[in-house]
Amino acid sequence: MQLHIDTARLSAIRAFATAARCPHCSDWMVAPAMSEFVEDGEIRHHWKCDACGQPSRTSIPLTTH
């Protein structure tokens, strides 16, 4: 039996479960204020930085090839 690692999928999982840096002040943002599934196969996280109060958004594609 061989161990097969799908690095693209692993990368998407890590991106989904990790904190992000604010694009405005570079402070860590731990949890998104809201997340949504988009029919095109992506998850969008909506953030509000606790340090500077600025909103931002990140997207994670869920498509596998």
**What range defines the domain where residue 23 resides?**
7-61
pLDDT digits (tens, 9 = 90+) for 10-40: 565 555 567 789 999 999 998 899 999 998 8
Q: What is the rounded distance in angstroms from the CA atom of residue 45 to the CA atom of residue 30?
A: 11
Number of folded domains that form the chain: 1
pTM above 0.75, yes or no: no
Residue 60: how many CB atoms within 10 A of its CB?
18
Per-residue burial over 35-51, b if 16 or more Cβ lie within 10 Å, else e, is eeeeeeeebebebebee
Q: Is the pLDDT of residue 44 over 80?
A: yes
Q: Does residue 1 lie in a domain region? A: no
Residue 65 in 3-state DSSP? coil
Q: Does residue 2 lie in a domain region? A: no
Task: Name the DSSP class of 1.
Answer: -
Q: Does residue 52 lie in a domain region? A: yes
